[in-house]
Structure 1
């Protein structure tokens, strides 16, 4: 006897498009590694609701002690409105979990899509280079919404354009542990999402390769690759390459719309180098706008604004892998 398949939550494109960026796999936590959570980046410090429903509970929780982060985080549990459940393709009574927002709502409050729940918070649950965001996951009607595990598979019904890049760009933003480069760029398409493409034209997601695994976005139809490295869509077992180096292998597909979906990627043991020096990795996501940039995580290397940086990948016997905690 086999278990019944889990319902996949299909997050509508109209919801995701209210945010500047999103990522499903750019995290070391199990829910992200398994394609069961999404991070939504508002860009303005306001934690807007990605759903409609009634607040069931608000809790304050402890988080890892980080010098750059608040000592606590917050969980907002929302009983989803029946109409929102129908739109997302899940049973009535499905529950949402929202993290990294300082709640300005209380149990019993009704919330609508786009409504402010409170300001985002710098949480010890994510790295210093990670921008403020709204973490979103879902639980079936009969599940305990306060446990850390048990979220439903999640798909994002927002196609992402793959954009090729040669790995070279200039620094346009500096932080304590990262820089943002001015590439890749794309022509037009402002308002839709785009992400860095693999050598075979697949838009990539995740922390490459400082987290053990990443993933791919569901992409817009593109011409097939001509270099023979991989097709413009990935199947389990396919090789994934970037900047001419094999960087990962596609595993089983994550949650997807209509049973499809983008696969997860197990990263190969590689080092990321910036101007020849090893750095922690590159942070990948889908973003709107003509210049969405790549974030290089480099806490031990200071690049200057305007400096030209070339990112390369090389096989490694001791790759950097950041875990939970």
Structure 2
């Protein structure tokens, strides 16, 4: 059984990703991260509910220790009443400090509480809701075991040459102005692989990625092999990502509808500044020191 999330659910958020996570809960696209904020407002604390239903339970859980994160995270369990695709299922929502309690009724878009940056987050990850769905008879507290998810909205693939100008930075990342969203606020877009399919996931810093609307076989970007797709799941090759010839942690692929969309480079300790021109390539590890403009 696969659960389809359409506009009624995804329309509450600026971005989403099925694969941009190192945790097994996301394996095979069985969980989704929903981002209310844009790339330049990624630390918003708004937590609109993806579903309507009744709160079954809220629970405080221990998170991995990180110097920038609180000690605990939170789990909210919701018995889903709508949309129809999730009716009767139990939604698991993480990373929200709840202002709701067991027995409360919520509608789609109602506030569940306040987003928290738990120790499950890498430092470059923006605030989001982690959401998965279970049948009522399944254990709702185990991290893994949620049903596979399908995206029931069109995701437009945008060609990207691997080049761009830095328009925003944080301590661990930089965002480029390319590719540009052609109609912000409407369609979801993502970076298109060569041929077909929209890339999803962290390359290569997470083991697997995804390809929305793609097919089996070798997945490439600007001629560079990224890995092999089996269905929509990509097993990344052992590759290195370079920015202006320097090896960086990687690229963050996701789907977005906001005007801030652009390629996101993960590079802790970088010295990139707004206005810098950047050229990105992907190659096997032994080619990591080759010039970016080869």
TM-score, with structure 2 as normaliser: 0.92
CA pair 303-189 structure 1, distance change in 2 beyond 3 A = closer
Q: Residues 142-291 of structure 1: matches in 2 within 5 Å?
A: 142-188=137-183, 190-218=185-213, 233-234=214-215, 236=216, 238-251=217-230, 253=231, 263-291=232-260
Question: Please, which runs of 5 or more residues in structure 1 have no aligned partner?
Answer: 1-6, 219-232, 254-262, 320-325
Q: Distance in 1 between matches of 2:95 and 2:287?
A: 33
User: Which has the larger strand fraction?
Assistant: 2
Equivalent in the alignment of 1:45: 45
Q: Distance in 1 between matches of 2:236 and 2:131?
A: 24
Question: Please, which runs of 5 or more residues in structure 2 have no aligned partner?
Answer: 38-43, 289-294
Equivalent in the alignment of 1:32: 26
| CA drift at 1:55 | 0.4
Q: Distance in 2 between matches of 1:154 and 1:188?
A: 26
Q: Distance in 1 between matches of 2:260 and 2:93?
A: 29
Equivalent in the alignment of 2:63: 63
Q: Distance in 1 between matches of 2:108 and 2:238?
A: 41
Equivalent in the alignment of 1:313: 282
| CA drift at 1:21 | 0.3
Q: Alpha carbon RMSD of aligned pairs, Å?
A: 1.6
| CA drift at 1:70 | 1.6
Q: Distance in 2 between matches of 1:273 and 1:52?
A: 44
CA pair 318-75 structure 1, distance change in 2 beyond 3 A = farther
| CA drift at 1:168 | 0.9
Q: Distance in 1 between matches of 2:150 and 2:56?
A: 24
After the TM superposition, which segments of 4 or more aligned residues of structure 1 sit over 2 Å from their partners? Answer: 186-190
| CA drift at 1:142 | 0.4
CA pair 269-112 structure 1, distance change in 2 beyond 3 A = same
**Number of residues of Structure 1 aligned to a counterpart in Structure 2:** 282
Q: Residues 4-153 of structure 1: matches in 2 within 5 Å?
A: 7-43=1-37, 44-81=44-81, 83-84=82-83, 87-88=84-85, 93-153=88-148
